[in-house]
Amino acid sequence: MIFPTVMNIFQDYSMSFYFRQSWTDLRLRYNFTNVDVLEIDTKMISDLWLPDVYIINEKRASFHDITVPNKLINIYPDGRVFYSARITGTFTCSMDLHKYPLDRQICDIKFESLNYTCVGLKFYLERNKGYYITQIYVPSILVIILSWVNFWLSVEAVPARISLGLLTVLTMSTQSASALSNLQKISYVKALDVWLAVCLAFVFGALIEFAYVNVTARVEQRRKMAYTVMSKFLENRKKNKEEDYSMSFYFRQIWTDYRLRYNFFGVEVLELDTKIIQQLWVPDVYVINEKRAIFHDITLPNKLINIYPDGKIFYSSRFSGTFSCNMELYKYPLDRQICDIQFQSYAFSENTIVIRWQENASVINRGLELPQFNLTRHRPFICDETFNGVDAVPARISLGLLTVLTMTTQSAAALKSLHKVSYITALDVWLAVCLIFVFAAFIEFAYVNVTARVEQRRKFDIPVMKNKEKVEIEIHAYCLSRRFTPIACLQDSRLLLVYKIHAYCLSTRFTHIVCLQDSRLLLVYKIHAYCLSTRFTHIACLQDSRLLLVYKIHAYCLSTRFTPIACLQDSRLLLVYKIHAYCLSTRFTPIACLQDSRPLLVYKIHAYCLSTRFTPIACLQDSRLLLVYKIHAYCLSTRFTPIACLQDLRLLLVYKIHAYCLSTRFTPIACLQDSRPLLVYKIHAYCLSTRFTPIACLQDSRRLLVYKIHAYCLSTRFTPFACLQDSRLLLVYKIHAYCLSTRFTPIACLQDSRLLLVYKIHAYC
């Protein structure tokens, strides 16, 4: 029976075996009747001659002596001696690891005597490949595929691609170091070295590809913008903690030795000291599947021996040991195992010693708790994926990588303390399925990312990078911030115009990002459209220091009933600009000035100013602007449109009348809102027809009298116009002058009922 264990790190192997020798010693011949074989106690071995056999390639070895030395010696009548001993040892083996882990090894054990011949035994070992496929080859292939996700990510996703490349390189490096950590450091190249080097080259190549593409993209952008090896397969058997179990128990034996019968009065049992055990015959029981074991001797040897009057002996000892157990792990960790402990006599056959159990002899501690095998076993699981948008590239890359690495680490930790078997266990299946789910989530992200970017390029109709690619991307970012869809926004025929606006942004002190993200972009675009319609080039137009002014004017256009395009394309834009210049010169800010509901009125007043001898600046800067506004309000209240009213040549007259109103005790509002303004106008027209200038005429203190005369005219059957044009007006004026010369005030004089009489006398004259 052989229990081999191979250790790669020291190029040796351990083995437990039965070493059996047979030779003839004529001095030991006997002729006893009915004795076919003499079964000699192991204590007599030292009195016999033994061949001086030793093992040439042995490093260390030992005999088993639990519970007694595991040795057997039989002597036959013809002097033939049969000697058997159980040995465990570690032996050297020169291994060829060029094809590791797909290798085959030939290990031997050589027995030799110093003065005699040599024999040996060779073992042909073929390494099981299942463990390496599931723990090294498959994970490394998945890591390579994972690194290729870089090829489907956008070149702008620098954090995601850097994280993915570095983590996959580190993963391969860690896996390579772990696989080779327990292998002997040899100078030649192994098959596993080649595999891991190729895997690392693929992963590293993906990172180099990203660096090259990133540099190339940035250079092109500037040009455009200018214009495994396993850890241990088999270990030292005494250090091997795989497929074994440890146990501490009381080993109790009962047998009868008639030589020890006694008949002492009143002594039912003899309790002997443990030192006497060496003087008694004890069955040579040993544990077949024992790896290592010890007796407990704190504070004294934990042994008990009692002898009863009929020669029955009760022997109890406490020891702890580690015992091998061939486990079936196909259903691991949902498995059930049957482990045993086998007791057997080493030197005596069943003709001499028969071992059997007493009834209810095996007793287990009721409070026993095992670390792994219980009546029930918990089977927890973990879900590590969350949702992120397809645009959140760094977040999804980090999440995917961490879940993959977590599953890889969890798999390695779960299988670390498990015996490295070549077949697939249930835990391998479970961990593989979990890893596939996590890996599939990562592949799904790569596919969605590529699909989204391809669809985006198709929609934007820019399958090849154009010279204005960067600008269009930034413009598109602006489009996304508006209420228009990117398709409608970018497909607009005005895209080139927006691009030129962007060129202007680049020429200013603001970065194009800030410039384009400004909420005023649409306004700037419309102003630019106006610039294109003028004789100035759009570059000169937009670079003009008056851009802010144009913007405010445009804001005014947006507040009117006209569309911005029609408003800005109007030939009167320059006029609006000058009005705005006037606003800037006043105490009101341009915003307040232009946002006033009266800008259209101001514009029409300004048009009047342009038709006069005064320049628009002087006209608008006049302190009488408020007066002009009120006159205009009067125009709006008449049956004439404001345009006709203001364009009338009589505007200056109205203005002078208004100036008169300001000089009276009435406010301009009350003066102009009076229903008699047309009369005042006609009086003024009369003044113009006289030898007096309109200023002198209106400033005359007798204006009130003229007004009352005019009121008289209105009360007659004649229209005010005919009344005033009558040649008798001068007469009325003189009558009025007479009234002023009398003791009566002009008011009382004119209100006199005799006025009609005076008028008729005057008519007769």
CB atoms within 10 A of CB 342: 10
Domain ranges of the chain: 2-126, 130-233+381-446, 246-324, 701-765
**Rounded CA separation 338/326 (Å):** 8
Please answer whether residues 471 and 502 qualify as being in contact, where contact means their C-beta atoms are separated by less than 8 angstroms: yes
Of 230, 197, 6, nearest to 131 by C-alpha is 230
pLDDT tops 90 at residue 100: no
- Burial of residue 362 (number of CB atoms within 10 Å: 0-12, 13-18, 19+): exposed
| Average pLDDT estimate for 185-212 | 85
Please answer whether residues 285 and 253 qualify as being in contact, where contact means their C-beta atoms are separated by less than 8 angstroms: yes
More confident residue, 257 or 679: 257
The chain-wide mean pLDDT, for the chain, equals: 69
Render pLDDT for 592-629 as a digit per residue (tens, 0 to 9): 554 554 555 555 555 555 565 455 455 555 645 555 55
Q: Identical fold at 2-126 and 246-324?
A: yes
DSSP 33-44: TT---EEE-GGG
Nearest 5 degrees, angle CA 411-CA 414-CA 415?
85
pLDDT range class, residue 427, cuts 50, 70, 90: confident
**Rounded CA separation 337/339 (Å):** 6
The strand pair at 38-40 and 12-24 is best described as: unpaired
- 459 to each of 449, 486, 487, how far by Cα in Å? 15, 9, 7
Question: What is the predicted pLDDT for the residue at 86?
Answer: 92
Of 551, 657, 640, nearest to 604 by C-alpha is 640
pLDDT tops 70 at residue 506: no
pLDDT tops 50 at residue 640: yes
**Rounded CA separation 726/715 (Å):** 15
More confident residue, 330 or 567: 330
Question: What is the predicted pLDDT for the residue at 295?
Answer: 86
Of 172, 144, 190, nearest to 8 by C-alpha is 190
The reply to whether the predicted model has a pTM over 0.75 is no
Question: What is the predicted pLDDT for the residue at 26?
Answer: 92
Which residue has 């952008």 as its token pair?
221
pLDDT range class, residue 461, cuts 50, 70, 90: very low
More confident residue, 555 or 264: 264
DSSP state of 302: -
Question: What is the predicted pLDDT for the residue at 21?
Answer: 92
Question: What is the predicted pLDDT for the residue at 443?
Answer: 80
| Average pLDDT estimate for 9-18 | 81
DSSP state of 47: G
Query: Residue 34: phi, psi to the nearest 5?
Result: 65, 20
- 672 to each of 327, 609, 633, how far by Cα in Å? 114, 21, 9
Please answer whether residues 684 and 643 qualify as being in contact, where contact means their C-beta atoms are separated by less than 8 angstroms: no
Indicate the CATH number for domain 130-233+381-446: 1.20.58.390
Which residue has 């009929």 as its token pair?
310
**Rounded CA separation 198/189 (Å):** 13
pLDDT tops 50 at residue 387: no
**Rounded CA separation 629/599 (Å):** 10
Question: What is the predicted pLDDT for the residue at 145?
Answer: 86
Question: What is the predicted pLDDT for the residue at 379?
Answer: 39
- 510 is written with which tokens? 């603001």
pLDDT range class, residue 24, cuts 50, 70, 90: very high
- Most confident by average pLDDT, 106-115, 152-161, 240-249: 106-115
Range name among 280-284, 289-293, 499-503 with the lowest pLDDT average:
499-503
Question: What is the predicted pLDDT for the residue at 74?
Answer: 92
| Average pLDDT estimate for 395-420 | 68
Range name among 159-163, 172-176, 564-568 with the lowest pLDDT average:
564-568
Range name among 36-45, 50-59, 529-538 with the lowest pLDDT average:
529-538
pLDDT tops 80 at residue 304: yes
Question: What is the predicted pLDDT for the residue at 169?
Answer: 74
The strand pair at 270-272 and 303-307 is best described as: antiparallel
pLDDT tops 90 at residue 465: no
- The CATH superfamily of 246-324 is Neurotransmitter-gated ion-channel ligand-binding domain (2.70.170.10)
Query: Residue 7: phi, psi to the nearest 5?
Result: -120, 115
Region class of 161: left (phi > 0), else alpha (psi between -120 and 50), else beta: alpha
* Bridge partners of residue 125, in order along the sequence: 105
pLDDT tops 80 at residue 368: no
| Average pLDDT estimate for 156-161 | 73
pLDDT tops 60 at residue 331: yes
pLDDT tops 80 at residue 758: no
**Rounded CA separation 443/437 (Å):** 10
Indicate the CATH number for domain 2-126: 2.70.170.10
Positive or negative, the CA dihedral 436, 437, 440, 441 is negative
More confident residue, 225 or 337: 337
Question: What is the predicted pLDDT for the residue at 18?
Answer: 92
Question: What is the predicted pLDDT for the residue at 463?
Answer: 38
**Rounded CA separation 460/514 (Å):** 23
Question: What is the predicted pLDDT for the residue at 740?
Answer: 62
Of 174, 188, 56, nearest to 110 by C-alpha is 56
Question: What is the predicted pLDDT for the residue at 308?
Answer: 92
pLDDT tops 60 at residue 56: yes
**Rounded CA separation 257/266 (Å):** 21
Of 407, 409, 361, 360, nearest to 385 by C-alpha is 407
Region class of 306: left (phi > 0), else alpha (psi between -120 and 50), else beta: beta
pLDDT tops 60 at residue 111: yes
- 223 is written with which tokens? 């040009």
Residue type, 176: S
Sequence-distant (6+) residues with CB within 8 A of 109 are 15, 55, 57, 91, 120, 121, 123
pLDDT tops 90 at residue 428: no
- Burial of residue 11 (number of CB atoms within 10 Å: 0-12, 13-18, 19+): middle
More confident residue, 461 or 460: 460
More confident residue, 74 or 605: 74
**Rounded CA separation 246/262 (Å):** 40
CB atoms within 10 A of CB 560: 12
pLDDT range class, residue 498, cuts 50, 70, 90: low
Render pLDDT for 686-744 as a digit per residue (tens, 0 to 9): 665 665 555 555 556 555 555 666 666 656 655 555 665 665 665 566 666 666 666 55
- Most confident by average pLDDT, 64-73, 527-536, 563-572: 64-73
Question: What is the predicted pLDDT for the residue at 675?
Answer: 47
Which H/E stretch holds residue 61?
strand 58-63
pLDDT range class, residue 23, cuts 50, 70, 90: very high
Question: What is the predicted pLDDT for the residue at 558?
Answer: 56
Residue type, 544: D
Question: What is the predicted pLDDT for the residue at 326?
Answer: 81
| Average pLDDT estimate for 297-309 | 85
